[in-house]
Structure 1
Amino acid sequence: MTLSNSAPPAATGAVSGFIHRHFRHFNSAVVVDAAQGWTRHLDNGGRMLVTLAGAMSTAELGISLAEMIRQGKVHAISCTGANLEEDVFNLVAHDHYERVPNYRELSAADEQALLERHMNRVTDTCIPEMEAMRRIEAVVLQEWMAADARGERLFPHEFMYRILRSGALESSYQIDPRDSWLLAAAEADLPMFVPGWEDSTLGNMYAGHCISGDVKNVHTVRTGIEYMISLADWYQETAPDASIGFFQIGGGIAGDFPICVVPMLHQDLQRPEVPLWGYFCQISDSTTSYGSYSGAVPNEKITWGKLGVDTPRYVIESDASIVAPLVFACVLGW
């Protein structure tokens, strides 16, 4: 193996130019490789599904992800219920958020004091319960109850799309709406899958309103198995004409759920003609470990019928809140 002394291909923007110039080896080089692989995938007519775990919405990934959606670089999203709701929380309550730079030094008493102020901490950032969570609850509850009364059933993201499109929240926006990835997704009617939505603030609230009787039919909000069926439909409609890539941010259910759609179609439905995922990249700081969903290297996915021997595969071992915007910048040419 030989190393080239020549510079990587020129990039158009200041950020991507810096990355191409300086990110040449080891883990940094994979950032460039993955971004270039994403671009090649799209140039060859491919599509890209992005998965969002962790607290990427509270990390304000929407600043770059929204533009990726608008420019047609992202074609579907799988995310946790937390990421679905927290983008909207940030949209309407940004000015009330508080940063806690010394969060590593907080005592149990300090955490109790935040609780008493209704400030819910995510690492160094506190989400204000009243201005964010309860404000959205009041709006979405009206949609849940109205749908319930009509006998209508929608997925969690469809309720959020409906609220954003209605303009009901516009007067409460506290950030540039172009920095909201969910608003960009709603405007593009982006296919979305939210596995395990009940494990979220709004999911807990929904359960509470079902218990109290505000919502009569617990199935008014569609979840789980129906999301997998919807994903299978989308994949089978899309894959024959365009290879589908998989860009995974973090681990957990946001990534584990959608990647299983291919082996389900192959093994459980006996549809071997369905193409495998055509690109795979995972950003994770999880320790590499065979047998671990979040820490397993992509090669292990070959034996499960998720990826093929020739599938471009990348692992970026780093903090996604740092790396994901850099990959997006490269793909966007910023």
Structure 2
Amino acid sequence: MKNKKGAVSQFLEHNFLHFNAATVVDAAKGYEAHLTSGGKMLISLAGAMSTAELGISLAEMIRQGKVDIISCTGANLEEDIMNLVAHSHYKRIPNYRDLTPKDDLELLNNKLNRVTDTCIPEEEAFRKIQHHIEKIWKDAEINNERCFPHEFMYRLLLSGVLEGDYEIDPKNSWMLAAAERNLPIVVPGWEDSTMGNIFASYVIKGQLKVNTVKSGMEYMIWLADFYEKNAIGQGIGFFQIGGGIAGDFSMCVAPMLEQDLEKKDILKWRYYCQITDSTTSYGSYSGCMPHEKITWGKLDIDTPSYFIESDATIVAPLIFAWVLNM
């Protein structure tokens, strides 16, 4: 029996009838149909979706098994935890478009790092996590352990050392939900993040060995094995927020298996949706249309594909609401 849709979904179906709005509903129905038919789903997170508090809706998607794997930037990995422990110290700048370079310098001097209209507090967010993650890194090295970046973050969350510092309802942290489920995550380019920079500083100072944290190459090798084992039956869908490395890194695994490893009968991605505000332009991955990916062996000619030219902070929670029958 089909689950009854809630008020948000009913609103979407009644009002979102044309243009990008209609594509939002089509993509939501496609996501739901892919899962219902037995398919799995990867979500890729670019931009600063954690700072935009996507966890409010994404955490529930994870808990209900509507996500099977996540590909995200190192920033999204850590910023959800920063929001978890330092939310009251964040500063919103509603008039950010009117700021001058001098205004931004003043924010820096006050140890407030701005992400569009939201400032992340350095001391309360970065340093609070650094104190604990440093010990986890060093303990792993003493024990001759090597882990992926997300596995260290899972250890941090599941250890309970941060619980006394929670400043939001923990049910709204997607990383906590992912840690509790041990959800697979790949984090390409982790060094391009605050924690990645901090780890690099310890290596430069001779306090940690560089191979204590597994590399992006090892993530790709792991992902190849995951994809081959799970791209069966209805296959794996790809729900892409933004563009960049979080999207293309994981999407490349399908053609790599087929073209570089010369494996036979590898299913391409079996659902595709991208939410982006990037325009289609010369060489832009973030703004390229889905059918361009057919030429790279990423999507098949019959892969249900949706391209939503809009703001993911608005659109993604609406699609998640549909999938969750809200």
Runs of 4+ off more than 4 Å: none
Note if contact 2:34-2:234 (Cα within 8 Å) is conserved in structure 1: no
Return the offset for 1:240.
Answer: 2.2
Unaligned runs of at least 5 residues, structure 1: 1-8
Task: Determine the C-alpha separation between the residues in 1 that align with 2:319 and 2:158.
Answer: 29
* Deviation digits for residues 218-244 of structure 1 (CA, Å, limit 9, x no counterpart): 010012100001111111111124410
Pick aligned residue for 2:9 from 16, 28, 31: 16
Pick aligned residue for 1:287 from 255, 261, 279: 279
Partner of 2:123: 130
Task: Determine the C-alpha separation between the residues in 1 that align with 2:107 and 2:192.
Answer: 22
> How do 1:171-186 residues align onto structure 2 when only pairs under 5 Å count?
171-186=164-179
Partner of 1:82: 75
Residue 235 (1) aligns with residue 227 (2): yes
Pick aligned residue for 1:208 from 186, 190, 201: 201
Note if contact 2:3-2:325 (Cα within 8 Å) is conserved in structure 1: no
Task: Determine the C-alpha separation between the residues in 2 that align with 1:290 and 1:307.
Answer: 20
Pick aligned residue for 1:317 from 288, 303, 309: 309
Residue 109 (1) aligns with residue 109 (2): no
Return the offset for 1:291.
Answer: 3.2
Task: Determine the C-alpha separation between the residues in 2 that align with 1:114 and 1:278.
Answer: 45
Task: Determine the C-alpha separation between the residues in 1 that align with 2:190 and 2:290.
Answer: 26
Task: Determine the C-alpha separation between the residues in 2 that align with 1:69 and 1:10.
Answer: 18
Note if contact 2:69-2:184 (Cα within 8 Å) is conserved in structure 1: yes
Pick aligned residue for 1:254 from 246, 252, 263: 246
Look up the equivalent residue of 1:329 and give its one-letter code. A
Task: Determine the C-alpha separation between the residues in 2 that align with 1:116 and 1:306.
Answer: 45
* Deviation digits for residues 94-132 of structure 1 (CA, Å, limit 9, x no counterpart): 010010000000111111110111000000000000000
Pick aligned residue for 1:45 from 28, 32, 38: 38
Give aligned pairs, total.
325
Look up the equivalent residue of 1:232 and give its one-letter code. A
Using the size of structure 1 for normalisation, the TM-score is 0.96
Pick aligned residue for 1:157 from 122, 142, 150: 150
Return the offset for 1:214.
Answer: 1.8
Task: Determine the C-alpha separation between the residues in 2 that align with 1:102 and 1:303.
Answer: 43
Task: Determine the C-alpha separation between the residues in 2 that align with 1:263 and 1:10.
Answer: 36
Task: Determine the C-alpha separation between the residues in 1 that align with 2:104 and 2:286.
Answer: 29
Partner of 1:141: 134
Partner of 1:265: 257
Pick aligned residue for 1:29 from 15, 22, 25: 22
**Aligned-pair RMSD on alpha carbons?**
1.2
SS at structure 1 position matched to 2:14: helix
Shift in CA distance, 44/290, structure 1 to aligned 2, threshold 3 Å: farther
SS at structure 2 position matched to 1:95: helix
Residue 91 (1) aligns with residue 84 (2): yes
- Same amino acid, percent of matched pairs: 64
Partner of 2:295: 303
Unaligned runs of at least 5 residues, structure 2: none
Task: Determine the C-alpha separation between the residues in 1 that align with 2:252 and 2:278.
Answer: 20
Task: Determine the C-alpha separation between the residues in 1 that align with 2:3 and 2:72.
Answer: 33
Partner of 1:277: 269
SS at structure 2 position matched to 1:303: helix
* Deviation digits for residues 225-267 of structure 1 (CA, Å, limit 9, x no counterpart): 0000111111111112441000000010000100000000000
